[in-house]
Amino acid sequence: MSDKLTYKASGVDIDSGNRLVDRIKRFPYRNDRAGAVSTVGGFSGLFALPAGYSEPVLVSGTDGVGTKLKLAFLMDKHDTIGWDLVAMSVNDILVSGAKPLFFLDYFATSALDVDQAEKVVRGIFDACDSCDTVLLGGETAELPGFYERGEYDLAGFAVGIVERSRIPDPSRVREGDAVVGLPSSGLHSNGFSLARRLFLEHMGLPLEAPFPGTDRTVGEVLIAPTRIYVDPVLELFEAGLVKSMVHVTGGGLVENPPRSMPPGLGVDISRGSWPLPPVFAAISTEDVDEMELMRTFNMGIGFIMVVGPEELETLGRLLDDKGEPWFVIGSVGARDDGGSETRFR
């Protein structure tokens, strides 16, 4: 018996990594997607720019899922956290009017659990598939002694494309424009440090307990996957109906809207103009300042579009035809101080 040191004895199992790649290659990749030149498993991913653009501009975005991962570990549920990863990045580049083209992921763990990792990557694949995006590649890293055993971290990278002349220009926004909100599916992937503190510690709710006002458990409500807004929003944007867009992520309804507003104009949000989902209704009953909630959580609105009043009827009809709920949650108002802060009324 050899007593020589090995990589595997040090905590890194190359064979496990190979088995994971073999499983990922068996996912039902579509062969009709234009652009993908290479398949998963190479040193890099290759993608050809699609035709039909006069001045194509690539748009990139990267994100993670934060401490929502802690919930996945507590529940031993790993099949939707990859969906969250894709959603956070493709929703971000959507704000620039970009159609997502491809996605890459980075999965780091202490010691690779192939079954666990396959569930995570399958969630990534399914999310990409839902918005016509190619999972072009990724990286799996074993870092023994760096992560707790059984835990992992995720990062994702999305690349999309938009015609240069179509890139949203906040200077087109005018006072009196309508602010349209699309509902979230819940917490999405932000504010989980506060959410876990509120629900699991302060309120003392077990993850398997029924969540008030729903037919789901506490864990199911908290871990609900982030919505992907590419399908409904891209059609509206390409139809010229949308002036500016906001992905409501960290910073909530307070800090995100100003990022898509010109100086001197801001979003005036009307309280009560959309139904408050049970998870936020429950949070609102606790001893937390309202503005703290508004700047931490999406409060039921995951994506915002600024629309001229003359386009509102057409936009609403298209959303209705798709069965997409939507709410006029406010309007654009002037700011005497030249700022663009969000106000609530």
pLDDT (tens digit, 9 = 90+) per residue, 31-84?
666 777 766 767 788 899 999 999 999 999 999 999 999 999 999 999 999 999
Strands 327-334, 99-109: pairing is: unpaired
Residue 75 CB coordination number (10 Å): 16
Structural domains in the chain plus CATH codes: 14-166 (3.30.1330.10), 170-344 (3.90.650.10)
Residue 87, pLDDT > 90, answer: yes
Residue 311, pLDDT > 70, answer: yes
pTM for the predicted model, two decimal places: 0.91
Confidence of residue 2 (pLDDT cuts 50, 70, 90): low
Residue 217 CB coordination number (10 Å): 17
Tell me, what's the pLDDT at 28? Answer: 72
Tell me, what's the pLDDT at 164? Answer: 96
Q: Mean pLDDT throughout 253-281?
A: 94
Q: Mean pLDDT throughout 241-264?
A: 94
Residue 82 CB coordination number (10 Å): 28
The proportion of the chain whose per-residue pLDDT surpasses 90, expressed as a percent, equals 70
pLDDT digits (tens, 9 = 90+) for 279-305: 998 887 777 888 899 999 999 999 999
**CA–CA distance, 187 with 300 (Å, rounded to integer):** 8
Q: Mean pLDDT throughout 189-205?
A: 89
Q: Mean pLDDT throughout 170-191?
A: 95
Tell me, what's the pLDDT at 321? Answer: 95
Tokens 């202490």 correspond to 110
Query: 325: buried, middle or exposed (CB in 10 Å: 19+, 13-18, 0-12)?
Result: exposed
Confidence of residue 255 (pLDDT cuts 50, 70, 90): very high
**Cβ pair 243, 260 in contact under 8 A:** no
Residue 209, pLDDT > 70, answer: yes
Tell me, what's the pLDDT at 77? Answer: 96
Tell me, what's the pLDDT at 157? Answer: 96
What order of strands is seen across the sheet that includes strand 301-307? Answer: 244-247, 301-307, 178-183, 327-334, 265-269, 343-344
The pLDDT mean for the chain works out to 90
**CA–CA distance, 10 with 81 (Å, rounded to integer):** 28
